[in-house]
């Protein structure tokens, strides 16, 4: 880290070339092998490194991939973010991670912000896939959407949430549960998310008596919501739309001295690494996070490296039984 950055002009002077030539040379364009070598040497000598801001302004590209998360309080999304970040790094690309903290309005602002940063591509896990700004955004930058109902221009990684919900609720039904509390994630608005719609539809079909409540992902908040539900409603099972929320149920059960699954059964959704560590292990719906990460990275890389075939990767869920759901008599 030299005391003062070298500019491209200085490299040009050092080599006796024009700044333009240096610019081309450093990117391996339009110049002879020989000058390229000469320029590289001079650049190394001077400790020159291109200024990303100036570059972005001039070229309209930043070399970064934006990652817009619905809510990083969800531990699973944290894992996803970390995974994607790592995956991109392996492809020599950098991720710019922003967190909408569950707020659709914030989602709009941050999406705009990322575009303003000239990201080459955008991976989003939309809170509100129906929001009106997505189409416009998709026009100005390749988008890979991760989720359920979609917006991607560069591809999509689709969770079959309908199937996931079916898997979960059928499991509960088969084991004899009828009165099921549903805990879904809090959000500032967007009431009719497709995932939620699936839940009520499936519950109807299976003849389950459900009550849907929203809960935050963050442990303390989830615990407090779960405490109320467990104490007041006495459901035989709780289905949480994220493992993070299920952790809150575990905590609440502990506080209330209820035993899982004897006093109440719990199901999660996502399969976060910690879920297998709890006692009892959390029965959940597993989404193959590695597969999702790989798919998302591959799609965005393809889109930005100019292989523009838009693809749709569908993730199938798996039921992962671990012991947090009891069979009712």
Partner DNA sequence: ACGATTCAGTGAAACGCTTCACTTGGGAAC
Partner DNA sequence: GTTCCCAAGTGAAGCGTTTCACTGAATCGT
Work out how close the CB of 3 gets to a second copy at its nearest, in angstroms, rounded to a whole number. 7
Cβ–Cβ < 8 Å for 66, 96? yes
Residue 214: strand, helix, or coil: strand
DSSP 8-state symbol, 281? P
Asked whether position 5 contacts DNA by CB under 7 A, the answer is: yes
Q: Which of 54, 231, 307, 314 binds a second copy (CB under 8 A)?
A: 54
Q: How many CA atoms lie within 13 A of 172 on its CB side?
A: 35
> Mask 52-71, x = binds DNA (CB under 7 A)?
--xx-xxxxx----------
Segment interacting with a second copy (CB under 8 A) among 14-22, 109-117, 231-239, 308-316: 109-117
**Which of 103, 30, 95 has the alpha carbon at shortest distance from 72?**
103
Task: Write down the least CB distance from residue 277 to a second copy, Å.
Answer: 5
CB 24 to DNA: min, Å: 6
In whole angstroms, what is the distance from residue 142 CA to residue 51 CA?
Answer: 24
Number of residues near a second copy (by CB under 8 A): 44
Under 8 Å between Cβ of 189 and 104: yes
Q: Per CB under 8 A, which region of 48-56, 119-127, 302-310, 319-327 contacts a second copy?
A: 48-56
Query: What are 194's two structure tokens?
Result: 């497709």
> Exactly one of 31, 98, 240, 249 binds DNA (CB under 7 A); which one?
31
Tokens of 266: 């719990």
Q: Which residues inside 128-157 make contact with a second copy, applying CB under 8 A? A: 133, 136-137
Select from 24-32, 186-194, 233-241, 272-280 the region that touches a second copy (CB under 8 A): 272-280
Taking CB under 8 A as the criterion, the residue among 86, 234, 262, 312 binding a second copy is 86
DSSP summary character for residue 127: S
Residue spans of alpha helices (H) in 64-177:
75-90, 104-116, 133-140, 161-174
Which residues contact DNA (rule: CB under 7 A)? 5, 7-9, 16-21, 23-27, 30-35, 48-51, 54-55, 57-61
């Amino acid at each position: 880290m030299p005391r003062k950055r070298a500019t491209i002009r200085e490299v040009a002077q050092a080599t006796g070339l024009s700044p333009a030539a240096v610019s081309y040379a450093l990117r391996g364009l339009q110049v002879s092998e020989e000058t390229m070598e000469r320029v590289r040497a001079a650049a190394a000598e001077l400790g020159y490194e291109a200024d990303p801001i100036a570059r972005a302004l001039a070229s309209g590209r930043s070399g970064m991939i934006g990652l817009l998360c619905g809510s990083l309080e969800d531990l699973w999304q944290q894992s996803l973010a970390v995974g994607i970040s790592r995956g991109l790094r392996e492809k020599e690309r950098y991720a710019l991670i922003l967190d909408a903290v569950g707020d659709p309005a914030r989602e709009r602002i941050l999406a705009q912000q990322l575009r303003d940063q000239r990201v080459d591509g955008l991976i989003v896990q939309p809170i509100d896939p129906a929001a009106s700004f997505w189409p416009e955004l998709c026009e100005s930058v390749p988008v890979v959407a991760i989720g359920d109902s979609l917006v991607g221009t560069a591809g999509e990684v689709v969770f079959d949430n309908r199937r996931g919900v079916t898997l979960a609720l059928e499991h509960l039904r088969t084991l004899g549960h009828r009165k099921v509390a549903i805990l879904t994630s809090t959000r500032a608005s967007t009431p009719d998310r497709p995932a939620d719609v699936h839940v009520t539809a499936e519950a109807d079909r299976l003849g389950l008596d459900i009550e849907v409540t929203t809960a935050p992902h963050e442990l303390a908040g989830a615990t407090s919501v779960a405490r109320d539900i467990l104490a007041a409603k006495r459901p035989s099972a709780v289905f949480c739309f994220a493992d993070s929320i299920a952790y809150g149920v575990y905590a609440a059960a502990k506080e209330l001295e209820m035993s899982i699954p004897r006093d109440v059964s719990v199901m999660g959704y996502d399969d976060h690494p910690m879920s297998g560590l709890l006692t009892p292990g959390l029965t959940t719906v597993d989404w193959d996070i590695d597969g999702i990460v790989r798919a998302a990275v591959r799609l965005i890389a393809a889109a930005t490296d100019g292989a523009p075939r838009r693809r749709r990767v569908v993730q199938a869920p798996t039921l992962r039984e671990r012991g947090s759901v009891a069979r009712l008599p």
